[in-house]
Amino acid sequence: MTVQELPGDAAYRPTPPPAWQPRTDPGPLLPDPEPYRVLGTDAAAAVDQELLLRLYAELVRGRRYNAQATALTKQGRLAVYPSSTGQEACEVAAAMALEERDWLFPSYRDTLAAVARGLDPVQALTLLRGDWHTGYDPHEHRIAPLCTPLATQLPHAVGLAHAARLKGDDVVALAMVGDGGTSEGDFHEALNFAAVWQAPAVFLVQNNGFAISVPLAKQTAAPSLAHKAVGYGMPGRLVDGNDAAAVHQVLTEAVERARRGGGPTLIEAVTYRMDAHTNADDATRYRGESEVDVWRAHDPILLLERELTRRGLLDDRVRNAAAEAAETMAAALREQMNADPVLDPMDLFTHVYAERTGQLREQAAQLTAELDAAADAEGEAR
């Protein structure tokens, strides 16, 4: 007797389950097991010469920026600096994959991406100098504030991309996060929302090996961070993060796909943080010099120089021009950062609410009185 022929109450007759159908074909979503490479492969020949030269100039400038900013921490001009030395290819290629109307959602380590996108180098360091939290108008540059909590900027990127699409604008949001950030709940929620809404968002994970001191092996058991994409129903891409041409190509494809309405992509760029987490960290406690040496041989600038040399593009003129531009930027940065910023204490109350509350008016009056008293005391002392 089959289920359908059972006598009695129809309510007890179970509905046969429908045949299971996966919602999406995971095949096309899966990343290739090997990080995608261009430099040093046959694919390099197809890369535009102008692009290679632009990437080179930006990488050299970025490396110099990291060195200068680190030096500024030693002089007490910056409270802290999380260097992206070794990761410049990710930073620069990510910024260069965006159109002007697109938005960048950086993490605290992505100052360089913001600068490569055209942000004034001094404005990019305001947070780290400590004169204010964000030194630029996010709308003017379409760069969200450098985000200190991990992965919390990713849902913002999804929401902005979604809103732009609702308004009919072909704007893409690129959100950057580190390998440690992929363990945060907001990473999961952002990717899930993006996939469900088919938001024009691109997620770039810079897997630089360590979350401060915790290595990737203790961060995740996934085959790769790019594999996480499959669970959300979006394609995952694995790319050599030190190969500027490869990063640029993968990012550009993902951005264009998002712009066409193809939905989000998760990209893992495998790279390495050559410096410590910040100037305040001691990397020798958790990694050996031999490991760093392996990556030193795979330096993003070196990889690009090899390709340029192979093509006969890296002459002294190109080298010197890149070095000089980097030096000019560093000198200007040094000079501007050596000037003490002039701060208005009353700014404390200016942007808490659109209109000051009664409580803040009282507190502003209190501070004004304190400042006046201090000025009077100083005047009398003279």
The site for another protein (CB under 8 A) is made up of: 132-134, 136-140, 144-145, 149, 152, 154-164, 166-167, 173, 185-186, 189-190, 192-193, 196, 347, 350-354, 357-359
Distance separating alpha carbons of residues 248 and 38, to the nearest angstrom: 10
| Residue 105: C-alpha distances to residues 38, 161, 250 (Å) | 26, 11, 18
| Cβ closest to another protein, residue 161 vs residue 204 | 161
| Cβ closest to another protein, residue 358 vs residue 379 | 358
Name the minimum Å distance from CB 222 to another protein: 20
| Cβ closest to another protein, residue 50 vs residue 140 | 140
Least Cα distance to 182 among 245, 244, 232 occurs for 232
For residue 127, count CB atoms less than 10 angstroms from its CB and return exposed for 0-12, middle for 13-18, buried for 19 or more.
buried
* Known catalytic residue at 286: yes
| Cβ closest to another protein, residue 17 vs residue 185 | 185
Give 292's contacts (C-beta < 8 A, 6+ positions apart). 272, 274
| Cβ closest to another protein, residue 133 vs residue 296 | 133
Chain centroid to Cα 341, Å, comes to 27
| Cβ closest to another protein, residue 147 vs residue 276 | 147
What are the structure tokens assigned to 315, written together? Answer: 């002459």
User: Which amino acid belongs to residue 92?
Assistant: V
Distance separating alpha carbons of residues 67 and 32, to the nearest angstrom: 34
* Known catalytic residue at 12: no
* Known catalytic residue at 56: no
Distance separating alpha carbons of residues 134 and 230, to the nearest angstrom: 35
Catalytic residue among 109, 162, 227, 273: 273
Name the minimum Å distance from CB 8 to another protein: 33
DSSP reduced 3-state for 207: strand
Least Cα distance to 56 among 379, 278, 307 occurs for 307
Distance separating alpha carbons of residues 197 and 267, to the nearest angstrom: 18
Name the minimum Å distance from CB 288 to another protein: 35
Name the minimum Å distance from CB 159 to another protein: 2
Strand locations in the chain (E): 103-105, 173-178, 201-207, 210-211, 214-215, 236-240, 265-270
- What are the phi and psi torsion angles at 83 (to 5°)? -70, 145
Name the minimum Å distance from CB 285 to another protein: 29
Helices H / strands E in the chain, number of each: 16, 7
Give 48's contacts (C-beta < 8 A, 6+ positions apart). none
Catalytic residue among 286, 298, 306, 334: 286
Name the minimum Å distance from CB 345 to another protein: 14
Name the minimum Å distance from CB 179 to another protein: 20
Q: Which residues pair with 238 in a beta bridge?
A: 268
User: Which amino acid belongs to residue 109?
Assistant: R
Give 7's contacts (C-beta < 8 A, 6+ positions apart). none
Cα–Cα–Cα angle for 209, 212, 213, rounded to 5 degrees: 75
| Cβ closest to another protein, residue 195 vs residue 245 | 195
Name the minimum Å distance from CB 372 to another protein: 23
| Cβ closest to another protein, residue 133 vs residue 311 | 133
Residues identified as active-site: 273, 277, 286
